[in-house]
Amino acid sequence: MKKHSILFVDDELHLIHGLKRALYSYRDKWNMLFALSGEEALEIMKNNDVDVIVSDMRMPIMDGAELLNKVKELYPQTIRIILSGHSDEDMILRSTKSSHQFLPKPCDPEVLKTTIEKSLMLRDILKDENLIKIVSGITVLPSLPDLYYKVIDELNKEDPSLLRIGNIISHDISMTAKILQLVNSAFFGLPQRITNPQQAVNLLGLDTIKALIISIGIFSSFSKIRIKDFSLESLWEHSMQVGYLTKHIMTKEFNDKKKLEDCMIAGLLHDIGKLLMIQIEGYSKKMNNLLFEKKINFVDAEYEIFGVSHAEVGAYLLGLWNLPDVLIESTAFHHYPSKLNEKNFTLVGAIHISNAFLQNPKEPEKCLESKIIDKEYIKQLKLQNKIIEWKEDFINFLKKGIKDET
């Protein structure tokens, strides 16, 4: 089995020696490469297939942010991790478009090992090199123009409100994912994982949010990234509906505030992989042709053409960005929750049922006959009667309308 290649970059020789000692036990598992500068790192990458690069931030001539930006352009398939001290917050913000994860310096060797191993494990989900390049090379994801300009307008006011900014961001797939990526990074060292974008905005603060959005431009209006045969508006509406319907179902089954908080965000992000898949050349044409020829469901068509679906692709991105496991899991398994072999009904199952109901909103009673339903999962957890019960909630939900909820 081929070893994964990990490149460590730091201009201080004693720190390089320290890394070599700390990671000595991994010498049979990883092919470890070391560089004392950004220039040397790029030379090494010309002759080696590097899976992960871990770079210090403060280096002369070419700093870590500049190095990882070059790596993103030249080798988009490489996972990019920044090591930085807390005094480097401005530089960290500058690297948000080119880094997948941020680790504090000095870094516990066990944290470093775990971070690299988790990233490699997620990467192995995707076997197609082109898919890996697309996901790893993402700089920004498109946001709804209306929400994008609303947050810009709010930031440009004399007295912008963090509450309003958080509310706007919490209604957008891309902005939510990116804000959660930053606030959940080890650089901030928060004691718990954050899944609430409103809380994330409050923790980051107005100056950081303003720098990220206006100066650095981590978000982009979808009007600038139009993709043929794809409607971000439809994806947003579906994702919001899944989130709200999931919350309705979970409220009936559980009295756990934390579980209910996660519902909306899990629903909002469950199809984020579609924002990545549509960037594959010929994606829509290949999908439409196969769907017409074989009359199979959308997800199975993706598996047949690409070997993975938007679910795994989305989970890979969220994993790279170190988002909470509950969001990664609900994204990865929302079409086939039976793969988890769960004994109890959880958020993943609620997302799956909500998504299945919404495939045929005019005849929700046919949910159990749907091509998209995971019949093995329904059987495992004996949910047939529950689905009939939840159907009434679904009908009431549609009558009420998503606009009444938002």
- Residue 220's pLDDT is 67
pLDDT higher than 50, residue 304: yes
- CATH number belonging to domain 224-405: 1.10.3210.10
- Residue 132's pLDDT is 82
Q: Which residues contact 389 (CB under 8 A, 6 or more apart)?
A: none
35 DSSP assignment: E
Least confident interval from 16-30, 37-51, 361-375:
361-375
Question: What is the rounded CA–CA span in Å between residue 227 and residue 232?
Answer: 9
Q: Band the pLDDT of 138: cuts 50, 70, 90.
A: confident
- Ranges 24-28, 181-185, 222-226, most confident: 24-28
- Residue 253's pLDDT is 86
- Residue 389's pLDDT is 82
Backbone angles phi, psi at 9, to 5 degrees: -125, 125
- Residue 352's pLDDT is 94
> What is this structure's pTM?
0.83
Task: Tell me what the mean pLDDT of segment 275-296 comes to.
Answer: 86
> Of all helices (H) and strands (E), which one includes residue 80?
strand 79-84
> Which residue from 139, 142, 140, 141 is spatially nearest to 69, judged by alpha carbons?
139
Q: Which residues contact 300 (CB under 8 A, 6 or more apart)?
A: none
Question: What is the rounded CA–CA span in Å between residue 314 and residue 320?
Answer: 10
Q: Is the dihedral of CA 69, 74, 79, 83 positive or negative?
A: negative
Mean of the per-residue pLDDT values of the chain = 85
Exposed e or buried b per residue across 223-260, where buried means at least 16 C-beta atoms within 10 angstroms of its C-beta = eeeeeeebebeebbebbbbbbbbbbbbbeeebeeeebe
Q: In the chain, where does the domain assigned CATH 1.10.3210.10 lie?
A: 224-405
Question: What is the rounded CA–CA span in Å between residue 115 and residue 103?
Answer: 9
Question: What is the rounded CA–CA span in Å between residue 55 and residue 7?
Answer: 8
- Residue 74's pLDDT is 95
pLDDT higher than 80, residue 222: no
Q: Band the pLDDT of 130: cuts 50, 70, 90.
A: confident
Q: Which residue is listed with tokens 């352009």?
A: 73
Q: Which residues contact 215 (CB under 8 A, 6 or more apart)?
A: none
- One-letter amino acid at 350 equals A
Q: In the chain, where does the domain assigned CATH 3.40.50.2300 lie?
A: 4-124
Least confident interval from 125-139, 309-323, 334-348, 392-406:
392-406
Q: Band the pLDDT of 391: cuts 50, 70, 90.
A: confident
Question: Mind listing the pLDDT tens digit for each residue in 151-183?
Answer: 999 989 999 999 999 999 998 898 898 889 888
Task: Looking at the structure, give the CATH architecture of the domain made up of residues 4-124.
Answer: 3-Layer(aba) Sandwich (3.40)
Secondary structure (DSSP) of 233-277:
HHHHHHHHHHHHHHHHHHHHH---HHHHHHHHHHHHHTTTHHHHH
- Residue 261's pLDDT is 80
Using DSSP bridges, classify how beta strands 4-9 and 220-221 pair: parallel, antiparallel or unpaired: unpaired
The reply to whether omega before 106 is within 30° of 0 (cis) is yes
- Residue 364's pLDDT is 65
Q: Who has greater pLDDT, 51 or 102?
A: 51
Question: Mind listing the pLDDT tens digit for each residue in 231-245?
Answer: 788 888 899 999 989
pLDDT higher than 80, residue 87: no
For 301, how many CA atoms within 13 A lie in the half-sphere containing its CB?
19
Q: Which residues contact 139 (CB under 8 A, 6 or more apart)?
A: 72, 97, 98
- Residue 12's pLDDT is 92
Task: Tell me what the mean pLDDT of segment 293-318 comes to.
Answer: 89
pLDDT higher than 70, residue 229: no
Please, are residues 56 and 27 in contact by the beta-carbon 8 Å criterion?
no
> Of all helices (H) and strands (E), which one includes residue 82?
strand 79-84
pLDDT higher than 80, residue 52: yes
> Of all helices (H) and strands (E), which one includes residue 53?
strand 52-56
